[in-house]
Amino acid sequence: MPELPEVETVVRGLQGPLVGRTFTGVTVGWPRAIRPSPDHLRQRLPGRRVAALTRRAKFLVFHLEGGGALLIHLKMSGNLQVAPAGEAMPLHVHTVFDLDNGHQLRFQDTRKFGRVHLVDDPAEVTGRLGPEPLAPRFGPARFRALFERRRGRLKPLLLNQEFLAGVGNIYADEGCCRAGVDPRRLVETLTGAELDRLYRGLRAALRTGIMLRGASLDAVYRGGEFQNHFRVYGRTGEPCRKCRAPIRRVVLGGRSTHFCPNCQK
C-alpha cells in the first residue's frame, strides 16, 4: 500500500494537470468504491472546479471551488493517471473523471480496494486520523504526548492511522532503525530520549522517501528510488549498513517487521 511519501509524490505530480480544471462527467465501473453512492458522485461532481489538491494521511484531497472535496484513497493497488480522453483505456480502470480540457483522470485499481468520497467537509472522512508527522507544528513534545497512557508493542501502534497519520510498514521499520529502537518494544518502556530519537527517525525516513519519490516495490507504483536506500525493510539476512549484523525479520501484528538486532535495542 502506498504510504505518506508515495501519496505525496502522486499529489505533487497531479497538481499541475488538475488544479484549475473542472470536472465535466464521471463514469463508474465499480460502484462499491464510491461513497456515499455513484449517483451522488455523478450528480454532484460535474461542474465543480479543482481549487487545490493536497494530501491528508494516505488520502488525496481535491478541494472544490465553492466548498466540498473529493477524496481518493489508493489502498493496495490504486493508481491515478491523467490522459487524453481518446487514448486507449488500460485494464482495471474502474472510475473515470472527465475534465474540461478533453482529458480524463483515470482511477485504475486491480484489487478494487480503493475508495472515492465526495463530501461537504473532508473531516467527514479524515476526522479520526492522527496528526501529520511532518506538520510544522508537530514537534517532539506533541509526539511524546501521543504515547502517554499507551500500552503494547511499538510497531503496531505506529501503523495505527488514528495514532499517527500516513506511516505504514516501510516507514515504521525505517524510522525505528534510524532511531536505534527495536520495533518489538513495549511502548510503556520507551524513555523520553528514545521517543525523541524515534520522532527524528520517522521524520527523516519520511522526508527521504519524499525526496526520492517514494519506494517502487511493484508494477503499480513506479518511479521512486527509496527502495534502493532501505536500511532494514525487505533486507532479511543482509548485513546491516552500520554494524554488518544480519537483518532479522519477524511478524508483528500480522505485518512483516525488519530490524537490526545489534543496533536496535
| Residue 88: inside a domain | yes
Catalytic site residue from 55, 56, 58, 235: 58
**Residue 223 falls inside a structural domain:** yes
Q: Is 150 a catalytic residue?
A: no
How many domains does the chain contain in total?
A: 2
| Mean of pLDDT values over 222-230 | 91
User: pTM higher than 0.75, yes or no?
Assistant: yes
Report, as an integer, the average pLDDT of 173-199: 98
Q: Which residue in the list 75, 150, 184, 255 is annotated as catalytic?
A: 255
Full domain range(s) for residue 83: 4-126
If one counts every other C-beta atom within 10 angstroms of the C-beta of residue 76, the result is 14
Domain final residue pick, 126, 155, 179: 126
Do 169 and 96 lie in one domain? The reply is no
Q: b vs e for 221-244, b when ≥16 Cβ sit within 10 Å of the residue's Cβ? A: beebebeeebbbbbbeeeebeeee
pLDDT value for 219: 65
Same structural domain for residues 116 and 167?
no
2, 5, 38, 183: the active-site residue: 2
Residue whose cell numbers read 476526522: 127
Boundary (domain end) residue, out of 72, 94, 126: 126
Do strands 34-35 and 115-119 pair parallel, antiparallel, or not at all (unpaired)?
parallel
| Residue 183's CATH number | 1.10.8.50
When pLDDT is averaged across residues 163-168 and rounded to a whole number, the result is 98
70 and 174: one domain? no
Decide if 5 is catalytic.
Answer: no
Q: Using 50, 70 and 90 to split pLDDT, how confident is the model at 55?
A: very high
CATH number at residue 36: 3.20.190.10
Residue 133: inside a domain, yes or no?
no
Residue 54 has pLDDT above 80, yes or no: yes
Share of the chain above pLDDT 90, in %: 95
Nearby residues of 32 by Cβ (< 8 Å), 6 or more positions away: 112
Residue 140 is a catalytic residue: no
111 and 154 in a common domain: no
d(CA 182, CA 201): 12
Choose one of 74, 96, 126: the last residue of a domain: 126
Express each pLDDT in 119-157 by its tens digit: 999 999 999 999 999 999 999 999 999 999 999 999 999
Cβ neighbours for 256, distance < 8 A, ≥ 6 positions apart: 169, 249, 250
The residue from 3, 6, 8, 174 that is catalytic is 3
122 given a catalytic annotation: no
